[in-house]
């Protein structure tokens, strides 16, 4: 399914434990990294653990492709009693995306932290990063509604502090991190309250079990309100318009390592949970839910796409331009999800994957090139292409992909988005995507003008070529952007099987059944 | 005979608990009504210690098994150590930060602190 | 058959109602107060009363946790942070209240709308109480073999959640260490050395001999009590988390009375950092051992290789579950005790830096009352 | 009778709350918070017996401890403006640098 | 009817408290007070869960012997048929699952509180104040063409 099956060389007993190992590996490494005697050790641990998680994710994905849904009972207790890890194609795809990005970020982190954080704190940063990785992986694999809350918090708490660590360069990181913490925690608590309502109505916490019991209920008022709370909470975490205000500030002032990783994964994991609830738990066939999708989610997505694209077009700071564009892109995904068709969800997932690849490349290039540059202003990147040709070429490729230029991954995903919207008779929504792409031409054009065509400022640019350990993951991502633009079998295969997994069956069979 | 003793103990115990509760209410009224900090702390700490003693002895008489009795006695001990210590520290802190006790004749003037 | 809950036969419901009203009163006072210290003291009271309410609702474990966390740790951390920031909040202009008020009222109405369809309070036949919750009550003794069902669910059935919870504490400790350091400023504070050289700064009269003596008695008792709570958690209320917090509070009392640098000499920040990660390692390590023995992650029945497990347990004992739960509770205790101590070091040890910038304090503290 | 005693303790806690809201000095608030805490300890005991399940006195012990600790914490807050110093010496420099009375 | 009155108030008060703490959190501009509001909000969510777990006439979910003195005293208060139907081995217990969840949530809450306060302390160190208004003013001043210096003005 993913072209990486050759990595599935684990012995069978090992492969059976993969759902647990994929989370526990990074977790143990996080503790070890905090204890590491020096920053080199911490970095090795970080790369090693991420690679291990990636390997396990590949094993998982190929097992899922081979035998369908995998259910893993934590503690050996069957599902409604114990916590279940339930891996289907959707979770496997997210696990692959998150752990793959983690490997690249981990490689990137060595040099990048060097310039941003004092070296005695590197082990703590790496430990926090690995905790976040474990949290995100757990979030996408778990089949238990409350366990998802715990992982949501694991993946956030360290991140709040790490975003604030950007304050050494720019003090605006502190209030940004604080706002993120407040918004994130309100979101998580809303989620918790929503899960409480589902629990009150169904008496269980296992998602598949909840899904199985919902049709048997006589009154669904608490389910409706529970769903509303869960979705609002997750929308806060996923930065869905208009609950996105924390994101641009947090992304523009955090240390680059964190931004690279978060931009590719964190909001995506919340989008995952939204899809999970809408499709698996509520099965897309419920009246209130369809009304919600058509009359709340879709208009909000459209507003988010347009407004945030405009904000991106006028903002003077380069990272914030990209952050606003991220919110707009989340809007694309929710818009496609709102069609509630298999093609829509698959297009959203395909775009989500590609967007992760391009955004990570963009932030990585900026982080790498601007190692010696304290400012984030776009104008300070004047002529950067001359002083850092390799870095900025990769940046340019990813930016073209963001724009949706042909022969890049972004083109294919926008094409599929529009196709799926048209197929669902949402032509106006397809027009919105077209319009926002036009605005995209403007802001990407602005960046291109500054980076490639303006001459360097007097006294030379502060932008330098990134070191090899940054160029390596950066170019991997840039090449991926082109590769997936020409031959999209891998992401498309993942997205389609994932969409098939959640859209195919209207309800999951309760745990235990094959 | 033994049962009779047990029921008497239970009755006495309940009475002691109630008495202790009444003592704490009296103390609280004192804290509410007394005119300055030092008299209030007096009301609070004296009645806390006495009320706690009465209630805990009452609960011991009610009987709840060996461990419960031991725990009750530990709690009593803790209250006896921490209550006066905290009161002392509070009064000390108030005094060293120049909270003045009311003097002779101050009670005649209605002071702001009088209003609960 | 229809059953109505025997509400009036249950005195705890009377207590519960009274306590809820008291909670609401305290919350109202918090909403209107602007002095941060008053808010913090009232928040401490709020959590204490909430804990009382938990006892009335038959949740002693939750009450225990809420008391040690809300009443103890949160209050102390809040105090530490007020010291490092400012003491009263600016008033909020009414115009800024409009939007939040609307949002809050909408959310409240939505919840009340949903609450109408939840089965009545105290109903034993409600879905929440009749399904999985009841299964735990019926199965715990057979499958895990300890009387405290909450501990069993926490450590065994939903042990993975608890691993997550421990990780959260670990992550928070890492975060605070990143942001505030390890209290190293308290050890290397030049003003402190200056004070040692200038004895006239030190007042002669010893005000706190009573406090010190009392504390000296209390600290060993607290340690002992912490260990008791740790190992008693299977039988009664308590467990690893509560024990960890109690141990941390014992250290915090020591720091409060005898000085932070004194405590940090005995329990250095590096050890706390190591302890925090060692706890998670112990916990996850137990899970990995289970995997190596052929079970699922955290399946304590496989803590020992199957033949040994049979030899230890006998016909229907649960040696694996028993020792597994103790092992992970020790892990939890280690992480929580060291993590919270490290967090306290961070906040308390930051103080000299701010205090030396006393000049910027002045204008802020004028805003009070 | 136990229920009546519990309610009596509850009433006295409410009176303490009134004092805590009213002040007027911070020390009054502290006093009432402290006293509130020790009444809570008693209430747990009485409530346990009234419910027929007196074996949760551990929580009462914890309350007693917590009450002591927070009182010391708040005290240090006022007298020393830092949680960090030892109580065996009084740091005049710090206490006076703040230049304010806690009850102001 | 009496039962409906006797039960409805619990959720109503809890929801009101939940919303009051959310209101504190959303309106105030003081970072510490925001954290207090957040912590209260989480606590009230806990109250909601525990209210769900209450079983009328139940006791704490720590297994006791129905034949023991305590067990018999508890059973004596209740209708035997009720105990028979809802009890486990002759004793009616509260629901343990929400207790476990809220135990976890309390811990998560204190972790969030400590990280949030640590960030608030850093805000104070960088800006000289913990009011969001002051922070905004300082940022606005710094983004003007002539920035007033890297550290900004305290108490602006």
Express each pLDDT in E64-80 by its tens digit.
887 777 777 777 777 77
What pLDDT, on the 0 to 100 scale, is given for residue E44? 94
What pLDDT, on the 0 to 100 scale, is given for residue D81? 65
Query: Residue D75 and residue B82: Cα distance in Å, rounded?
Result: 14
Nearest to B88 among C210, C218, C221 (CB): C210
Nearest to D84 among C42, C63, C351 (CB): C351
Q: In this structure, what CATH number is given to the domain that contains residue E119?
A: 1.10.287.3510
User: Between chain B and chain D, how many beta carbons pairs sit less than 8 Å apart?
Assistant: 162
What pLDDT, on the 0 to 100 scale, is given for residue C320? 84
Residues of D in contact with E73 (CB under 8 A): 52
Do E6 and E81 reside in the same domain of the chain? no
Do C83 and C162 reside in the same domain of the chain? no
Task: Decide: C310 and A86 in contact? Cβ < 8 Å.
Answer: no
Domain count across chain E: 2
Residues of C in contact with A82 (CB under 8 A): 157-158, 160
Residues of B in contact with C211 (CB under 8 A): 85, 88-89
Residues of A in contact with E139 (CB under 8 A): 172, 175
What pLDDT, on the 0 to 100 scale, is given for residue A2? 56
Residue A150 in contact with partner chain C when CB distance is under 8 A:
yes
Query: How far, in Å, are A238, C325, E47 from residue C331 at the CA level?
Result: 33, 10, 28
Nearest to A27 among C130, C159, C167 (CB): C167
Classify burial at A347, counting beta carbons within 10 Å of its beta carbon; exposed 0-12, middle 13-18, buried 19 or more. Answer: buried
E129: nearest CA in chain A?
A175
| Domain-embedded: residue D57 | yes
Task: Please name the residue ranges forming H helices in chain E.
Answer: 2-27, 31-53, 69-76, 80-86, 96-127, 132-142
Do C195 and C331 reside in the same domain of the chain? yes
Q: Do chains A and E touch (3 or more CB pairs under 8 A)?
A: yes
Residues in CB range of A208: below 8 A, 6 or more apart: A79, A84, A86, A143, A280, A508, A509, A510, A511
- SS3 at position A85: strand
Do C161 and A150 make contact, defined as CB atoms within 8 angstroms? Answer: yes
Residue E26 in contact with partner chain D when CB distance is under 8 A:
no
- Nearest one of C327, C286, C292, C285 to C306, comparing CA atoms: C292
> Which residues constitute the domain of residue E76?
63-94
Query: Residue C177 and residue A160: Cα distance in Å, rounded?
Result: 13
Nearest to C114 among A82, A199, A226 (CB): A226
What pLDDT, on the 0 to 100 scale, is given for residue C84? 79
Domain count across chain D: 1
Query: Residue C120 and residue E11: Cα distance in Å, rounded?
Result: 10
Do C58 and E55 make contact, defined as CB atoms within 8 angstroms? Answer: yes
Do C281 and A31 make contact, defined as CB atoms within 8 angstroms? Answer: yes
pLDDT band of residue A494 (cuts 50, 70, 90) is confident
Residue D42 in contact with partner chain C when CB distance is under 8 A:
no
Do C153 and E97 make contact, defined as CB atoms within 8 angstroms? Answer: yes
| Domain-embedded: residue C4 | no
- Nearest one of A459, A456, A311 to A381, comparing CA atoms: A456
Cross-strand pairs, A317: A377
- pLDDT over 70 (residue E5): no
Nearest to E126 among A157, A171, A188 (CB): A171
Residue E140 in contact with partner chain C when CB distance is under 8 A:
no
Do D52 and E60 make contact, defined as CB atoms within 8 angstroms? Answer: no
Query: Residue C264 and residue C341: Cα distance in Å, rounded?
Result: 10
pLDDT tens, residue by residue, C179-192: 988 777 666 654 55
Is the torsion defined by CA of A311, A314, A316, A321 positive or negative? Answer: positive
Q: Which of C87, C112, C146 corresponds to the end of one domain? A: C87
Query: Residue A420 and residue A436: Cα distance in Å, rounded?
Result: 17
The residue behind tokens 């042909």 is A406
Residues in CB range of E26: below 8 A, 6 or more apart: C100, C103, C104, E37
What pLDDT, on the 0 to 100 scale, is given for residue B104? 66
What's the 3-state SS for chain C? CCCCCCHHHCHHHHHHHHHHHHHHHHHHHHHHCCEHHHHHHHHHHHHHHHHHHHHHCCCHHHHHHHHHHHHHHHHHHHHHHHHHCCCECCCCCHHHHHHHHHHHHHHHHHHHHHHCCCCCCCCCCCHHHHCHHHHHHHHHHHHCCCCEHHHHHHHHHCHHHHHHHHHHHHHHHHHHHHHHCCCHHHHCCHHHHHHHHCHHHECCCCCCHHHHHHHHHHHHHHHHHHHHHHHHCCCCCCCHHHHHHHHHHHHHHHHHHHCHHHHHHHCCHHHHHHHHHHHHHHHHHHHHHHHHCCCCCCCHHHCCCHHHHHHHHCCCCCHHHHHHHHHHHHHHHHHHHHHHHHHHHHHHHCHHHHHCCHHHHHHHHCCCC
The rounded Cα A430 to chain-centroid distance in angstroms is: 23
Nearest to C351 among D17, D36, D83 (CB): D83
Domain count across chain A: 1
Residues of C in contact with B88 (CB under 8 A): 210-211
- pLDDT over 80 (residue A73): yes
CA angle centred on C36, ends C35 and C40, rounded to 5°? 125
Q: Which residue stretches of chain C have pLDDT < 70?
A: 1-9, 185-207, 314-317, 351-369
> Which residues constitute the domain of residue A465?
300-506
**C30-39 burial by CB neighbour count: b if 16+ within 10 A, else e?**
bbebbbbbbb
Query: How far, in Å, are C99, C165, C168, E110 from residue E42 at the CA level?
Result: 21, 15, 15, 10
B82: nearest CA in chain C?
C214
Nearest to E112 among A149, A185, A193 (CB): A185
Q: CA Rg, chain A, in Å? A: 21
Domain count across chain C: 2
| Domain-embedded: residue C282 | yes
What pLDDT, on the 0 to 100 scale, is given for residue D101? 39
Distance from CA of B1 to the nearest CA of C (A): 31
| Domain-embedded: residue A320 | yes
Do B64 and D71 make contact, defined as CB atoms within 8 angstroms? Answer: no
Do E111 and C122 make contact, defined as CB atoms within 8 angstroms? Answer: no
Do E90 and E112 reside in the same domain of the chain? no
Distance from CA of E45 to the nearest CA of D (A): 22
User: Between chain B and chain C, how many beta carbons pairs sit less than 8 Å apart?
Assistant: 17
Distance from CA of C208 to the nearest CA of B (A): 7
| Torsion on CA atoms E1, E2, E7, E13, rounded to nearest 10 | 100
Task: Please name the residue ranges forming H helices in A89-239.
Answer: 89-116, 122-141, 145-164, 173-202, 207-213, 221-238
Do A138 and C164 make contact, defined as CB atoms within 8 angstroms? Answer: yes
> Which residues constitute the domain of residue C258?
158-359
What pLDDT, on the 0 to 100 scale, is given for residue B111? 47
| Domain-embedded: residue A106 | no
CA angle centred on A143, ends A32 and A498, rounded to 5°? 100
What pLDDT, on the 0 to 100 scale, is given for residue E147? 42
Residue D24 in contact with partner chain C when CB distance is under 8 A:
no
Do E102 and E141 reside in the same domain of the chain? yes
Joined together, the tokens standing for residue A12 give 């069978």
E138: nearest CA in chain A?
A172
Nearest to C298 among A75, A124, A200 (CB): A75
Task: Decide: C181 and C346 in contact? Cβ < 8 Å.
Answer: yes
Residue D50 in contact with partner chain C when CB distance is under 8 A:
yes
| Domain-embedded: residue D104 | no
The interface residues of chain B toward chain C in range 23-62, judged by CB-CB distance below 8 A, are none
Nearest to C45 among D36, D48, D73 (CB): D36
The rounded Cα C352 to chain-centroid distance in angstroms is: 27
What pLDDT, on the 0 to 100 scale, is given for residue C189? 55
Average pLDDT over residues A364-372: 79
pLDDT band of residue A47 (cuts 50, 70, 90) is very high
pLDDT band of residue E150 (cuts 50, 70, 90) is very low
Query: Residue C233 and residue C329: Cα distance in Å, rounded?
Result: 9
ipTM of predicted complex = 0.90
The residues on E that touch A, with CB distances below 8 Å, are 18, 22, 25, 31, 34, 38, 41-42, 45, 48-49, 52, 97-98, 101, 104-105, 108, 111-112, 115-116, 118-120, 122-123, 126-127, 132, 135, 139, 151-152
pLDDT tens, residue by residue, E87-107: 888 888 889 999 999 999 999
Nearest to D42 among B44, B55, B82 (CB): B55
pLDDT band of residue B100 (cuts 50, 70, 90) is confident
| Domain-embedded: residue A419 | yes
What pLDDT, on the 0 to 100 scale, is given for residue A23? 93
Residue D44 in contact with partner chain C when CB distance is under 8 A:
yes
Task: Decide: D20 and C33 in contact? Cβ < 8 Å.
Answer: no
Q: CA Rg, chain B, in Å? A: 19
Name the residue with higher pLDDT: A2 or C155: C155
Classify burial at C286, counting beta carbons within 10 Å of its beta carbon; exposed 0-12, middle 13-18, buried 19 or more. Answer: buried
Do E50 and E20 reside in the same domain of the chain? yes
* Whole-number average pLDDT of chain B: 81
Residue E126 in contact with partner chain C when CB distance is under 8 A:
no
Task: Decide: D28 and D102 in contact? Cβ < 8 Å.
Answer: no
The interface residues of chain B toward chain D in range 4-63, judged by CB-CB distance below 8 A, are 14-15, 17-18, 20-22, 24-25, 27-29, 31-32, 37, 40-41, 44-45, 48, 51-52, 55-56, 59, 62
pLDDT tens, residue by residue, A224-235: 888 889 999 999
What pLDDT, on the 0 to 100 scale, is given for residue C5? 53
What pLDDT, on the 0 to 100 scale, is given for residue A460? 64
Q: Which residue stretches of chain D have pLDDT < 70?
A: 79-104
Do C61 and C167 reside in the same domain of the chain? no
Do B96 and C214 make contact, defined as CB atoms within 8 angstroms? Answer: no
Do E94 and C58 make contact, defined as CB atoms within 8 angstroms? Answer: yes
Nearest to E119 among A146, A181, A196 (CB): A181
Residues in CB range of B100: below 8 A, 6 or more apart: none
The residue behind tokens 């997932």 is A349
pLDDT band of residue A49 (cuts 50, 70, 90) is very high
Do E83 and E9 reside in the same domain of the chain? no
Residues of E in contact with D52 (CB under 8 A): 59, 70, 73-74, 77
CA angle centred on B90, ends B89 and B92, rounded to 5°? 65
What pLDDT, on the 0 to 100 scale, is given for residue B8? 85
| Number of Cβ within a 10 Å radius of residue C199 | 9
pLDDT band of residue E46 (cuts 50, 70, 90) is very high
Nearest to C128 among A30, A138, A200 (CB): A200
| Domain-embedded: residue A339 | yes
What pLDDT, on the 0 to 100 scale, is given for residue A190? 94
Classify burial at C184, counting beta carbons within 10 Å of its beta carbon; exposed 0-12, middle 13-18, buried 19 or more. Answer: middle
Residue E26 in contact with partner chain C when CB distance is under 8 A:
yes
* Whole-number average pLDDT of chain A: 85
- pLDDT over 60 (residue E154): no
Cross-strand pairs, C258: D86
Classify burial at C221, counting beta carbons within 10 Å of its beta carbon; exposed 0-12, middle 13-18, buried 19 or more. Answer: middle
| Domain-embedded: residue A324 | yes
Alpha carbon distance, N-terminus to C-terminus of chain B: 52
What pLDDT, on the 0 to 100 scale, is given for residue D96? 43
Residue E69 in contact with partner chain D when CB distance is under 8 A:
no
Do E59 and D56 make contact, defined as CB atoms within 8 angstroms? Answer: no
């Amino acid at each position: 399914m993913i072209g990486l099956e050759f990595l599935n060389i684990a012995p069978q007993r090992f492969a059976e434990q993969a759902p647990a190992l994929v989370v526990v590996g990074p977790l143990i490494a996080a503790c070890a990294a905090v204890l590491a005697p020096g920053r080199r050790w911490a970095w090795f641990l970080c790369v090693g653990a991420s690679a291990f998680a990636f390997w396990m994710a590949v094993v998982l994905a190929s097992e899922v492709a081979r035998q369908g849904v995998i259910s893993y009972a934590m503690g050996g207790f069957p599902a409604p009693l114990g916590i279940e890890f339930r891996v289907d194609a959707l979770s496997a795809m997210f696990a692959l995306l998150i752990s793959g990005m983690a490997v690249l970020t981990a490689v990137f982190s060595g040099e990048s932290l060097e310039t941003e954080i004092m070296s005695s704190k590197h082990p703590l940063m790496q430990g926090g990063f690995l905790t976040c990785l474990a949290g995100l992986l757990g979030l996408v694999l778990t089949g238990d509604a409350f366990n998802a809350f715990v992982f949501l918090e694991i993946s956030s708490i360290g991140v709040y502090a790490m975003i604030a660590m950007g304050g050494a360069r720019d003090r605006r990181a502190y209030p940004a991190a604080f706002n993120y913490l407040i918004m994130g925690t309100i979101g998580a608590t809303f989620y918790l309250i929503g899960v409480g309502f589902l629990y009150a109505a169904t008496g269980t916490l296992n998602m598949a079990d909840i899904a199985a019991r919902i049709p048997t209920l006589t009154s669904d008022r608490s389910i409706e309100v529970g769903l509303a709370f869960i979705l609002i909470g997750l929308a806060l975490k996923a930065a869905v318009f208009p609950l996105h205000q924390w994101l641009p500030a947090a992304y523009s002032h955090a240390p680059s390592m964190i931004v690279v990783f978060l931009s590719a994964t964190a909001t995506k994991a919340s989008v995952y949970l939204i899809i999970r609830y809408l499709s698996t738990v509520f099965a897309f066939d419920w009246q209130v839910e369809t009304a919600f999708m058509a009359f709340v989610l879709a208009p909000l997505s459209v507003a988010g796409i347009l407004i945030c694209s405009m904000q991106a077009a006028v903002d003077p700071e380069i990272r914030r331009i990209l952050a606003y564009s991220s919110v707009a892109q989340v809007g694309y995904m929710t818009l496609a999800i709102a069609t509630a068709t298999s093609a829509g969800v698959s297009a959203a997932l395909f775009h989500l994957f590609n967007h992760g690849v391009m955004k990570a490349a963009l932030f990585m290039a900026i982080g790498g090139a601007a190692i010696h540059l304290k400012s984030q202003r776009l104008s300070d990147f004047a002529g950067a292409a001359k002083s850092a040709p390799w870095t900025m070429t990769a940046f340019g490729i990813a930016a073209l992909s963001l724009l949706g230029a042909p022969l890049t991954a972004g083109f294919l995903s926008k094409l599929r988005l529009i196709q799926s919207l048209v197929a669902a008779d949402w032509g106006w929504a397809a027009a919105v995507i077209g319009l926002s792409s036009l605005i995209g031409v403007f802001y990407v054009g602005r960046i291109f003008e500054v980076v490639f065509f303006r001459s360097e400022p007097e006294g030379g640019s502060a932008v330098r070529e990134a070191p090899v350990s940054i160029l390596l993951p950066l170019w991997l991502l840039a090449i991926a952007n082109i590769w997936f633009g020409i031959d999209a079998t891998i992401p498309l295969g993942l997205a389609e099987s994932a969409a098939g997994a959640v859209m195919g069956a209207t309800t999951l069979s309760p745990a235990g059944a094959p | 005979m033994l049962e009779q003793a047990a029921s008497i103990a239970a009755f006495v115990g309940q009475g002691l608990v109630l008495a202790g509760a009444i003592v704490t209410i009296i103390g609280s009224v004192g804290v509410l009504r007394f005119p300055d900090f030092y008299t209030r702390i007096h009301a609070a700490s004296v009645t806390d210690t006495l009320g706690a003693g009465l209630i805990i002895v009452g609960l011991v008489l009610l009987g709840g098994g060996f461990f419960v009795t031991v725990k009750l006695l530990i709690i009593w001990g803790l209250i006896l150590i921490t209550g006066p210590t905290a009161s002392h520290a509070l009064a000390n802190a108030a005094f060293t930060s120049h909270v003045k006790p009311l003097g002779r004749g101050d009670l005649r003037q209605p002071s702001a602190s009088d209003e609960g | 058959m229809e059953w109505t809950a025997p509400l009036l036969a249950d005195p705890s419901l009377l207590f519960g109602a009274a306590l809820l009203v008291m909670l609401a009163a305290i919350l109202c006072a918090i909403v209107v107060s602007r002095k941060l210290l008053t808010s913090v003291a009232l928040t401490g009271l709020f959590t204490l009363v909430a804990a009382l309410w938990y006892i009335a609702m038959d949740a002693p474990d939750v009450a225990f946790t809420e008391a040690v966390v809300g009443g103890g740790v949160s209050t102390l951390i809040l105090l530490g942070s007020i010291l490092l920031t400012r003491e009263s909040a600016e008033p909020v202009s009414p115009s800024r209240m409009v939007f939040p008020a609307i949002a809050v009222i909408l959310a409240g109405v939505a919840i009340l709308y949903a609450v109408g369809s939840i089965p009545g309070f105290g109903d034993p036949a409600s879905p929440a109480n009749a399904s999985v919750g009841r299964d735990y009550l019926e199965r715990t003794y057979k499958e895990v073999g300890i009387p405290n069902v909450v501990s069993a669910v926490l450590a065994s059935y939903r042990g993975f959640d608890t691993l997550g919870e421990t990780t959260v504490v670990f992550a928070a400790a890492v975060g605070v260490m990143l942001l505030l350091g390890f209290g190293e400023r308290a050890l290397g504070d030049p003003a402190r050395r200056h004070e040692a050289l200038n004895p006239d700064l030190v007042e002669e009269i010893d005000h706190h001999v009573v406090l010190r003596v009392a504390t000296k008695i209390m600290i060993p008792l607290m340690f002992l009590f912490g260990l008791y709570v740790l190992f008693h958690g299977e039988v009664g209320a308590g467990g690893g988390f509560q024990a960890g917090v109690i141990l941390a509070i014992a250290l915090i009392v020591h720091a409060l009375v005898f000085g932070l640098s004194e405590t940090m000499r005995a329990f250095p920040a590096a050890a706390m950092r190591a302890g925090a990660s060692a706890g998670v390692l112990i916990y996850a390590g137990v899970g990995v051992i289970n995997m190596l023995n052929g079970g699922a992650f955290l399946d304590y029945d496989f803590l020992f290789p199957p033949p040994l497990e049979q030899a230890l347990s006998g016909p229907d004992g649960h040696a694996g579950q028993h020792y597994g739960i103790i092992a992970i509770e020790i892990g939890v205790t280690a992480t929580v005790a060291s993590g919270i101590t490290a967090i306290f070091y961070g906040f308390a040890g930051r103080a000299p830096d701010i205090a030396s910038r006393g000049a910027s304090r002045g204008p802020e503290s004028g805003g009070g009352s | 009778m136990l229920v009546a005693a519990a309610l009596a303790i509850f009433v006295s806690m409410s009176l303490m709350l009134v004092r805590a809201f009213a002040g007027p000095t911070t020390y009054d608030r502290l006093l009432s918070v402290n006293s509130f805490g020790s009444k809570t300890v008693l209430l747990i005991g009485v409530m346990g017996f009234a419910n027929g399940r007196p074996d949760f006195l551990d929580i009462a012990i914890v309350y007693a401890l917590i009450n002591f600790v927070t009182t010391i914490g708040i005290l240090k807050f006022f007298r020393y403006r830092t949680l960090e110093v030892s109580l065996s010496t009084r740091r005049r420099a710090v206490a006076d640098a703040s230049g304010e009375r806690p009850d102001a | 009817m009496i039962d409906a009155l006797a039960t409805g108030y619990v959720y109503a008060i809890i929801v009101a408290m939940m919303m009051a703490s959310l209101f504190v959190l959303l309106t105030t501009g003081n970072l510490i007070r925001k954290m207090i509001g957040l912590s209260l909000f989480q606590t009230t969510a806990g109250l909601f869960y525990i209210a769900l777990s209450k079983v009328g006439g139940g006791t704490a979910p720590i297994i006791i012997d129905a034949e023991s003195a305590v067990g018999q005293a508890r059973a004596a208060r209740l209708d035997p048929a009720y105990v028979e139907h809802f009890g486990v081995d002759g004793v009616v217990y509260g629901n343990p699952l929400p207790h476990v969840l809220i135990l976890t949530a309390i811990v998560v809450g204190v972790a969030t509180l400590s990280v949030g306060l640590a960030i608030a302390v850093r805000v104070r160190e960088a800006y000289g104040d913990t009011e969001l208004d002051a922070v905004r003013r300082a940022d606005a001043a710094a983004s003007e063409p002539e920035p007033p210096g890297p550290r900004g003005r305290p108490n602006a």
